[in-house]
Chain A
Amino acid sequence: MQSNLRVKRPIRSKILSTFFRLLFPLLFVLILSVELLLVPSIKKISLNQLSNSTFLIKNSIQTAATVAIRNHLKTIASQNREIAKYYLQLVDHGVVTREEAERRIRQIFTNQKVGSSGYIYCLNSKGVAVFHPIKGVENTDVTTFEFAREQVKVKEGYLEYNWRNPGEEEERPKALYMVYFEPLDWIISASSYRSEFEELINISDFREMVLSLKFGGQGYAYVFSTNGNVLIHPTIENLNIFERKELPNEFVRQMVSKKRGMIYYDWQNPNEDKFHKKIAVFETIDELDWIIVSSAYQNEVMAPIFYARIIAYSLIVTMLVASILGAVLLSRRLTKPVEGIMKCIDSNTRDEAPELLPIISEDEFGLLASEINRYIRVVDEKNRFIKNERIKYHSVFETSPDAIFLLDNLRIVDCNSKTADIFQGEKAQLINKSIVDLSPKTQPGGESSEAMANKVVDALNNEEIVIFEWVHISLKGKSFDSEVRLKRLIGNKSKKFIVAFVRDISENKKNALELDNYRKKLEFLVSERTEELEATNEELISTNEELMKQREEQQQTLDMLRETQDQLIQSEKMASLGVLAAGVAHEINNPLNFIVGGVWGIEKYVKKNLAEHLENLSKMFDAVKEGVRRASNIVSSLNHFSRKDYLPNIECDMHSIIDNCLVMISSELRGRIVVTKKFTSNKTIIIGNEGKLHQVFLNLLLNASQAISDTGEITIETAVFNGKLTVSITDTGNGIAPENISKIFDPFFTTKEPGKGTGLGLSISKSIILEHKGELTVKSNLGAGTTMVVKLPLNT
């Protein structure tokens, strides 16, 4: 199973969202503080500068004005005191009377004017207006006025106050300077309305100060009078702004009417082709009707705000970017080891051998990795254990001699190979098949397989094993008897599964049937045999007698065995002779060949060249030839002993062999010997070497004939008994002396005259008969005749 390594909500996005959640309020606060605190305060600072400057100019001008007025009034007051003093000196000198002097003083004082509407008045130290140009006021106590009480108190100095003359609508600012003239106890006061001292102030005194002020680079201050005369201005001076239509003047009117405050306006200098947005703070000096303006270009004033904004917002953007980057980097640092761990775990879900995580750090991930490694090892160990267990149980499952299958109700969920075996198909063909598909329509009882199967399965409880017989049908359609064991699997999850053990018992059934048949047959046989036994018992009694007879026969056989033993010794002798003969034969035959060849050559030579000697030599030639013939005969006869059984054995009819031999020796027998044949009517076929058998009987018949010196009789009798053919050749000849009987089969033993026999005939005959698994025996009575008996196994 391959896991899906895609993360639905990666840590990166979580970290990012957390960052944003924290960051956004912060940024909001930051933006708010920039916009609501920083920007207004910068604005305020800029405007403060403007208003401070405005006030500075105003104060300077006012101060200058006050000083000028004070000095002006002081001079007037002091001059009048000198006048008063002069007249009193005149009194002292007796030039005039005191009254005259006082009258003149009053006249001079009255005729004086301070400014355009100011005047001189005098109070005494008691606060009574001792002199006043307005006649109603003179000789009245004026201490009801604040400034009058102040005058009485200080007597000399400058004083500013507001005053309303009778009949006037409002108070006007006034200023006075007073000096005290003691001789008269007069406080001489020169008072004037302050607005009337405009001419006392020289505007050019302030020009330098005003124009030196600069606001934000290009901003400047200027002064104009309320009637539109431009008093101080860096570019437009000495003109009336209301008269110059090309210049904007609406804002001037506003300033005139508002007197003080702040204003935004557009300004265009002469010779300039564009408007500047400006901001200005203005103040009106009421006494002078001057308006002091400190103006600045808006863009310049706002520049700090602009920079502050740029700094603030770029800081915000930097913070944002840094935060995102930080979040990404952090998340990568966090997720990278996690990805490694996930990859490793993922690979472990596929591979056989578990892969351990590399411990790359000593942080929590390192700990996690080592914990996972521990887990992997534990799981791997468990897996291996489970795998081994599985293999074990699987091998038990697979090697079971019974078919085992797992059923989900009637459906095969799993099965072993034995199941496939007995159902003659593949495992895959069986999986998901229903048991009903593998059964005939009906079971032997006649009930349908489906109904029966359902019944069995439904009745199955958790404990017992149900054993029953069932007829199944293999996938190839072969039906077979089976023994089924059902057991419900225990355990919550496997509760619905049933394990079935199925054994093919059709063979058992067949065997049982056969066994039954055998039993019945056996019972029958036993009863039959019992009867037979009874009959046999009787036979046995008679057989017993026969056994006694056989014992005698055995005795005879024992005798025969002894005889055979002798014969074996005999044949051994002959065999050793054969080995000797084979070696010698070649060595003798070659010299014999020299002789034959030589004699033949000599004879031919004599015939051709010495024909007259031939008659005398022929006997000698014959003698040599005869000698060689005999020697050669002996050598070739000896070969019989060494011959192996390599000549083909064929079916030979003994009667015809005997007949042939009689023909061959007929010249020997004719007229001398009577041959009587007593042949059996049975078949006398034996398997053997026809030539050798000819040799044997030729030899025996020749011996018989030669034993008869004159005339006589030869009787040939054949008989078949016990699968053996017996041929007896009896002659009426000389017989064999008893002392020679035992020697007649020895090689080279002969009683014949020299040249008539080699002494090998009988020994060769004996060896041939032995080769044919037969016997050659002799019975003889000296003088009465001899019987040679040949016994050979018949071809049956």
Chain B
Amino acid sequence: MNSNVTVLYVDDEPINLELFEINYEFKYNVITAESGEVALVKLRENKDVAVVVTDLKMPGMDGLSFVKLAKQEFNNIPFIILTGFDISKELIEALNSGLIVKYLYKPFNVDEMGKIIDELAVKPA
């Protein structure tokens, strides 16, 4: 880890979480959560989270619901949706309202994602 940027990745697939950790192992301080509920707890535990990347379709709390809840407490953190689904009306509204800053498709390009995280982390939150 050559950066002090902390990224929280939320996905219900453990493989995705593992790969994310592995691929950014030397780049970011990666925290993972397998659901929105856990993610909220982790956000409260780690005050230095700079960027949150979250899946959209998850059992229980879905990605947008999680973002909405998290935004109430952590208004300054940028949220990125990473999903296998096509763009939808709800996502466009979320983008327009500033709830999320970015929308990315799976499978994602690790380097591109890295660039986006870097940009968002540098920006004064």
Q: Is the CB of A590 within 8 A of B84?
A: yes
CB neighbours of B105 from chain A (8 A): 589, 632, 636
Q: Interface with A: B32-40, B68-76, B85-93, which one?
A: B85-93
Most buried by A among B16, B106, B108: B106
Interchain CB contact under 8 A, B86 and A582: yes
Least Cβ–Cβ distance between B21 and chain A, in angstroms: 10
Q: Does any Cβ of B come within 8 Å of A213's Cβ?
A: no
Q: Which residues of B contact A586 (CB under 8 A)?
A: 57, 83-85
Asked if residues B85 and A601 are in contact (CB atoms below 8 Å), the reply is: no
Query: Could you say which of A99-107, A270-278, A530-538, A642-650 contacts chain B?
Result: A642-650
Minimum CB–CB distance for B82 against chain A, Å: 9
Q: Which residues of B contact A600 (CB under 8 A)?
A: 23, 110
A783 at the binding interface (Cβ < 8 Å):
no
| Complex CA–CA separation, A598 to B85 (angstroms) | 20
Q: In the complex the two chains form, is A596's CB within 8 Å of B107's CB?
A: yes
Contact A601 B22 (CB under 8 A): yes
A572-621: which residues lie under 8 A (CB-CB) from chain B? 582, 585-590, 592-598, 600-601, 604
Q: Is B1 an interface residue (CB 8 A)?
A: no
Q: Would you give the 0/1 interface string for A332-346, flagging 1 where the beta carbon is closer than 8 Å to chain B?
A: 000000000000000
Give the residue among B84, B109, B110 with the most A Cβ atoms within 10 A.
B84
Complex CA gap A771/B37 in Å reads 40
B19 adjacent to A598 (CB under 8 Å): yes
Q: Which of B13, B89, B105 has the most CB of A within 10 A?
A: B105
Contact partner, A593, options B86, B92, B106, Cβ 8 Å: B106
Residue of B nearest to A629 (CB): B107
Name the residue on B nearest A578 (C-beta).
B86
Interface residue? B20 (CB, 8 A) = yes
Task: Give CA–CA (A600, B23) in the complex, Å.
Answer: 8
A590–B11 Cα distance when bound, in Å, is 10
Indicate if the CB atoms of A596 and B108 lie closer than 8 Å. Answer: yes
Q: Would you give the shortest CB distance from B115 to chain A, in whole angstroms?
A: 14
Contact between chains at B85 and A585 (CB < 8 Å): yes
Q: A639 at the A/B interface (Cβ < 8 Å)? A: yes
Q: Identify the closest chain B residue to A647 (Cβ).
A: B92
Q: Does A368 contact B (CB under 8 A)?
A: no
* Bound CA–CA A205/B85 (angstroms): 179
Most chain B CB atoms below 10 A, which of A587, A644, A646? A646
How close is B57's CB to chain A, nearest CB, in angstroms?
6
Smallest beta-carbon distance B72→chain A, Å = 26
* B15 proximal to A (CB < 8 A): yes
CB-defined contacts of B109 to chain A, threshold 8 Å: 596
* A475 contacts the other chain (CB 8 A): no
Q: Which residues of B contact A604 (CB under 8 A)?
A: 23
A646 to B93, CA, bound (A): 10
- Distance of A595 from chain B, by nearest CB (Å): 7
Residues of chain B within 8 A (CB-CB) of A644 are: 89
Interface residue tally for chain B (C-beta within 8 Å):
21
Contacts of A628 in B (CB 8 A): 107
Contact string against B for A residues 419-458, beta-carbon threshold 8 Å, 1 for contact and 0 otherwise? 0000000000000000000000000000000000000000
A588 CA to B85 CA in the complex, in Å? 10
- In this complex, the interface size class of chain A, counting residues with CB under 8 Å from chain B, is 20 to 34
Pairwise interchain contact B22-A594, C-beta atoms closer than 8 A: no
Residue of A585, A593, A636 near B108 (CB, 8 A) is: A593
**Chain B 16-60, CB within 8 Å of chain A: the 1/0 string?**
100110110000000000000000000000000000000001000
- Among B19, B106, B107, residue most surrounded by chain A Cβ atoms (within 10 Å): B107
In the complex, the answer to whether B106 meets A589 with C-beta atoms within 8 Å is: yes
Give B111's nearest chain A residue, CB to CB. Answer: A600
Closest B residue, CB atoms, query A639? B86
Expressed in whole angstroms, the minimum distance between the Cβ of A680 and any Cβ of chain B is 34
From A635, which residue of chain B is reached at the shortest CB distance? B84
Min distance, Cβ A606 to any Cβ of chain B, angstroms: 14
**Are A589 and B89 neighbours in the complex by a CB distance under 8 Å?**
no
Residues of B within 8 A of A646 (CB): 88-89, 92
**Contact A594:B86 (CB < 8 A) given known A589-B105, A601-B22:** no
A594 touching B19, Cβ below 8 Å: yes
Q: How far is the CA of A582 from the CA of B87 in the complex (A)?
A: 11
Residue in B closest to A648 when the chains form the complex, CB atoms = B92
Residues of B within 8 A of A647 (CB): 92
Contact between chains at B107 and A597 (CB < 8 Å):
yes
Assess A636 versus B86: contact at CB under 8 Å? Given A589-B106, A589-B107.
yes
User: How far, in angstroms, from A418 to B46 measured CA to CA in the complex?
Assistant: 81
Residues in B with CB closer than 8 Å to A601 are: 19, 22-23
Chain B's nearest CB lies how many Å from the CB of A462? 85
A582:B107 contact, CB within 8 angstroms: no
Bound Cα distance from A194 to B114, whole angstroms: 198
Nearest CB in chain A: distance from B10 CB, A: 14
Choose among A593, A639, A642, A643 the residue that contacts B107 (Cβ–Cβ < 8 A): A593
Are the C-beta atoms of B108 and A588 separated by less than 8 Å? no
Hey, which chain A residues are within 8 Å of B85, CB to CB?
582, 585-586, 589, 639
| Assembly CA distance A586 to B107 (angstroms) | 10
Given known contacts A582-B86, A589-B107, A594 and B15 CB-to-CB distance under 8 angstroms: yes
Cβ–Cβ < 8 Å partners of B22 in chain A: 597, 601
Is A594 within 8 A of B16, CB to CB? yes
**In the complex, what residues of A have CB within 8 A of residue B57's CB?**
586
Please determine whether B86 and A597 come into contact, CB atoms closer than 8 angstroms.
no
B13 smallest CB distance to A (angstroms): 6
Whether B84 and A593, one on each chain, are in contact in the complex, defined by CB atoms closer than 8 angstroms, is yes
Residues on B with C-beta less than 8 A from A595 are: 107
**In the complex, what residues of B have CB within 8 A of residue A636's CB?**
86, 105
Instruction: Let me know if A597 and B16 touch, CB within 8 A.
Output: yes
Chain A nearest CB from B68 CB (Å) reads 20
Q: With the chains together, A589 CA to B109 CA distance in Å?
A: 13
In the bound assembly, the distance between CA atoms of A635 and B84 in angstroms comes to 9
- State whether A588 touches B84 (Cβ < 8 A): yes
* Shortest distance between the CB of A608 and any CB in chain B (Å): 10
A592 and B107 in contact (CB under 8 A), knowing A601-B19, A604-B23?
yes
A593 neighbours in B (Cβ, 8 Å): 16, 19, 84, 106-108
Q: Distance (Å) between the CB of B30 and the closest chain A CB? A: 13
State the Cβ distance, A627 to closest chain B Cβ, in Å: 11
Return B91 CB to nearest CB of chain A, in Å.
10
Q: Which residue of A lies closest to B88 (CB)?
A: A646
Q: Are B110 and A597 in contact (CB under 8 A)?
A: yes
Give CA–CA (A590, B110) in the complex, Å: 14
| Closest beta carbon of chain A to B23's beta carbon, Å | 5
For the complex, give the distance between the alpha carbons of A628 and B105 in Å. 13
Q: How far is the CA of A7 from the CA of B15 in the complex (A)?
A: 117
The complex places the Cα of A593 from the Cα of B105 at a distance, in Å, of 9
- CB of B64 to closest CB in A, whole Å: 15
C-beta contact mask, B86-104 vs A, less than 8 Å → 1, else 0?
Answer: 1011001000000000000
B-contacting residues of A (Cβ < 8 Å)?
582, 585-590, 592-598, 600-601, 604, 628, 632, 635-636, 639, 642-644, 646-647
Q: Return the 5 tightest CB-CB contacts between A and B, nearest first.
A: A589-B84, A639-B86, A597-B19, A596-B107, A586-B84
* Given A594-B16, A601-B22, A628-B107, 14 other A-B residues pairs in contact with their CB atoms under 8 A: A582-B85, A585-B85, A586-B84, A589-B84, A590-B84, A592-B84, A592-B106, A593-B19, A593-B84, A593-B106, A597-B20, A597-B23, A632-B105, A646-B92
Interfacial residues, chain B to chain A (CB-CB below 8 A)? 13, 15-16, 19-20, 22-23, 57, 83-86, 88-89, 92, 105-110
Q: List 10 A-B contacts (CB under 8 A).
A: A582-B86, A586-B84, A586-B85, A590-B106, A592-B84, A596-B108, A597-B19, A597-B110, A604-B23, A646-B92
